[in-house]
Amino acid sequence: MKDSELQNLLRQLKAPAANESNTARALDRALVALRNTPGKEQRPGWAVWMFATAAATVCVVLALAWNGQRDDSRVFAEIERLFPGQLLAVIQNGGKTDLCLSALPGKELSPDQRVRITVRSGGETAEILTYSGQEVCVPLKSGSLCLTPLVTGEGDVLVLSEEDAFARSGRIRSATIRATSLTKS
């Protein structure tokens, strides 16, 4: 068969006439399937699942680390492995643990710059694990309190706030603050 003959045959072929009942039934089935399928906004993407898995892992690590013998350096190391170059602070306040992460991975901070800050205010206690030079804002019932710890060459910790500065421990507003370096001397 030549190409021209084939083209003539194909032009002569016509699709069968549509059956109205089959067309209506197919349309109904398509509409039912469309209504029963969740939309994209209802199905979490891979990034949401990864974040949820990482958050659950962090919670387990923190629960294990803070319930037994406390080793803040180990907590830092575990979370840094999950979020390399992104971890800015871990805040435990009222049984709730929050991670402060940078949006983009940066240079990993030195382990000898790790600091623990304890804030007590009005019966509540917040524990913060952070790095020297990182400003951390702690949500308290009396309002947010922002602190910046600085590790000195001798291993002491200076704490700066908008109101005051002190070494190791001090009082700001109605909060008592104690800061220690996590570097083993």
pLDDT digits (tens, 9 = 90+) for 47-87: 666 666 666 666 655 555 555 445 677 777 777 788 888 88
Q: For residue 33, what pLDDT is reported?
A: 74
Q: Burial level of 90, CB count in 10 A (0-12/13-18/19+)? A: buried
Number of Cβ atoms within 10 Å of the Cβ of 98: 14
Token digits of residue 147: 């602190």
pLDDT for 166 equals 83
HSE value, Cβ hemisphere, 13 Å, CA-based, for 114: 20
**Exposure pattern of 106-141 as b/e (b: 16+ CB <10 Å)?**
eeebeeebbbbbebebeeeebbbbbbbebebebebe
Closest by alpha carbon to 132, among 118, 146, 152? 152
Q: What is the pLDDT of residue 68?
A: 43
Q: What is the pTM of this model?
A: 0.59
